[in-house]
Amino acid sequence: MTGDAASTAADGSAAPHGPIGPAYAVADAPGHAYLPRSGTPDYTVLSYDLDLSYRVATNRLDATAVITGRAVNPLTTIVLDLVHLRAKRVRVAGDKRARFTQNQTHLRIRPSAPLAAGDAFSVEVSYDGSPQPRRTRWGTLGWEELTDGVIVAAQPSGAPSWFPCNDHPADKASYRIRVTTEEAYTVRATGELIDHAVSGGRGRWVFERPEPTATYLAAVQIGRYVVEPRRAAGVDWVIAYPAPLARRVLADFAPVGRMLERFGELFGPYPFPSYTVVVTADPLEIPLEAQAMATFGANHADGRGGSERLIAHELAHQWFGNSVGLGSWRDIWLNEGFACYAEWLWSEASGGPSANTLARAHHARLRLPPHDLLLGDPGPDDMFDDRVYKRGACLLHALRLRLGDDRFFGMLREWTAEHRFGVVASADFERLAARYAGEGLTDFFDAWLRERRLPSLTA
């Protein structure tokens, strides 16, 4: 999972700033319409360097962001998404006369001379405030205070609640994140932990993520956590949790190692250097995926394996959605349909109901009304509808039945290898599937993606 102040949309997100450029080759206009006021195709970000000083007790953030990018189209203004936080100072490297203005949702930086297409730029923004989630049609998103700590839940448009950014899923960049906070707290953030030091009662944590990462997948999680390292299937992973939840957490998350092994066999090698699981002391409505990380609430650790399918779902997103990313929210079935099908594959692999049994059961439920969803373009109101998840998973099972296991899983491994750290559209997957089928699949994908009527699993 989710302009001028007068032009702010209901989702709180920035008016399109120009035509779709080559950096967004797969992010066409209809897809961008899902969040037309978030992000711009006029430039692409190469890296974010974030230095965050945070006080848990007062929810006070003082921060600096250095953003390097490259113009895709000629630019007179660099527009960054930033919500609820105040920019104090903005500098453009090599330009002492740059100016900036800010409204409720955007920071607009005007260099003294226009940027030509292809020009590189570097912007430093010092900002502060009390970060809070933004209100959207999908609920509140972004930086959120817990009873004693913080989580970031940014999908799809919550990233600007804690750093200035080009908030579009296709604009992936590298990250360096430094977080300084009270010594008693543990920080997990996007990237590999490269340094941790304590001075004057404050802890400083430094993380680096060179792999291209979408803004909605950048995260900071802060809490009083025990951190335990693990290794499975050649992958280092850690689990961070409140000490009082140890028994429940360690029992419920024991299968992660076996999941890493099985998913590596089915989908190809795990795409990142490590994986982090965070379990908060607070309950959460749903688990949250971030780049090489997943966050669960205390309610997802019952000591009886009650959330095992959700654990599998969030792990599968590291292949489908995080490494292989979306160019457009319109194609969200490529994230959620694949992660949902991974739940069924894990059930099959771990001695539960087979993927075929689960597909047929969910297909039967999908036959019930309403029948108003287009899987290939569900619209912003329905992009997180459970039918996107289940119909997308059923599509994949129908394709598996058509191709057979050898070709189907070979296709998935090629998909994750060919598009590792890239962005894709549904059309890319349709072409790959047709190649593995050795025949045109236009009718198949039209029926599943572009018609409301539910096809048969075996048609």
Q: Would the pLDDT of 6 be above 90?
A: no
Residue 84 carries which DSSP code? S
With beta carbons less than 8 A apart as the criterion, state whether 166 and 69 touch. Answer: yes
Q: Would the pLDDT of 16 be above 80?
A: no
Residue 378 CA, chain-centre distance (Å), reads 18
Q: What is the mean pLDDT of residues 344-365?
A: 98
- Asked, for residue 42, whether it belongs to a domain, the answer is yes
Q: Label residue 15 by pLDDT band (50, 70, 90).
A: very low
Residue 63 carries which DSSP code? E
Q: What is the mean pLDDT of residues 126-139?
A: 96
pLDDT for residue 407: 98
Question: What's 283-327 look like in SS3?
Answer: CCCCCEEECCEEEECHHHCCCCCCCHHHHHHHHHCCCECCCEEEC
- Asked, for residue 281, whether it belongs to a domain, the answer is no
- Asked, for residue 237, whether it belongs to a domain, the answer is no
- Asked, for residue 311, whether it belongs to a domain, the answer is no
- Asked, for residue 26, whether it belongs to a domain, the answer is yes
When mean pLDDT is compared across 14-18, 112-116, 179-183, 290-294, the lowest value belongs to 14-18
- Average pLDDT of the chain? 93
pLDDT for residue 24: 38
**195 plus 342 within the same structural domain:** no
**Last residue within a domain, chosen from 183, 205, 224:** 224
pLDDT for residue 28: 40
User: Whose CA is closest to 82, among 191, 185, 3, 194?
Assistant: 3
Q: Label residue 241 by pLDDT band (50, 70, 90).
A: very high
Q: Label residue 33 by pLDDT band (50, 70, 90).
A: confident
Residue 39 carries which DSSP code? -
- Asked, for residue 316, whether it belongs to a domain, the answer is no
Tell me which residue range forms the domain holding 442: 325-449
68-to-46, 164, 405, 440 alpha-carbon distances in Å = 6, 12, 44, 43
**Segment 397-455, tens digit of pLDDT:** 999 999 999 999 999 999 999 999 999 999 999 999 999 999 999 999 999 999 999 99
Q: Would the pLDDT of 52 be above 60?
A: yes
**33 plus 157 within the same structural domain:** yes
- The CATH number covering residue 356 comes to 1.10.390.10
When mean pLDDT is compared across 10-24, 97-111, 316-330, 419-433, the lowest value belongs to 10-24
Question: What's 241-299 look like in SS3?
Answer: ECHHHHHHHHHHCCCHHHHHHHHHHHHCCCCCCEEEEEECCCCCCCCEEECCEEEECHH
**Segment 72-130, tens digit of pLDDT:** 999 999 999 999 999 999 999 999 999 999 999 999 999 999 999 999 999 999 999 99
User: Whose CA is closest to 171, among 214, 219, 126, 225?
Assistant: 214
Q: Label residue 3 by pLDDT band (50, 70, 90).
A: very low
Q: Would the pLDDT of 37 be above 70?
A: yes
pLDDT for residue 32: 61
**Last residue within a domain, chosen from 187, 205, 224:** 224
In total, the chain counts a number of residues equal to 459
Total of domains in the chain: 2
**16 plus 152 within the same structural domain:** yes
End-to-end CA distance of the chain: 31
For residues 378 and 388, what is the distance between their CA atoms, to the nearest angstrom? 8
Which residues 6+ apart lie within 8 Å of 330 measured at CB?
Answer: 30, 31, 34, 376, 377, 378
Q: Where are the alpha helices (DSSP H) in 377-459?
A: 386-403, 405-418, 426-437, 442-449
Q: Would the pLDDT of 12 be above 90?
A: no
- Asked, for residue 406, whether it belongs to a domain, the answer is yes
Q: How big, in percent rounded to 5, are the helix, strand and coil portions of the chain?
A: 30, 30, 40
- The CATH number covering residue 178 comes to 2.60.40.1730
**Last residue within a domain, chosen from 185, 209, 224:** 224
Q: Would the pLDDT of 29 be above 80?
A: no
**190 plus 67 within the same structural domain:** yes
Q: Would the pLDDT of 155 be above 50?
A: yes
- Asked, for residue 283, whether it belongs to a domain, the answer is no
**184 plus 62 within the same structural domain:** yes
- Amino acid identity for residue 443 in this structure: D
Task: Please identify which residue in the block is written with the tokens 């929210």.
Answer: 329
Percentage, residues of the chain above pLDDT 70? 93
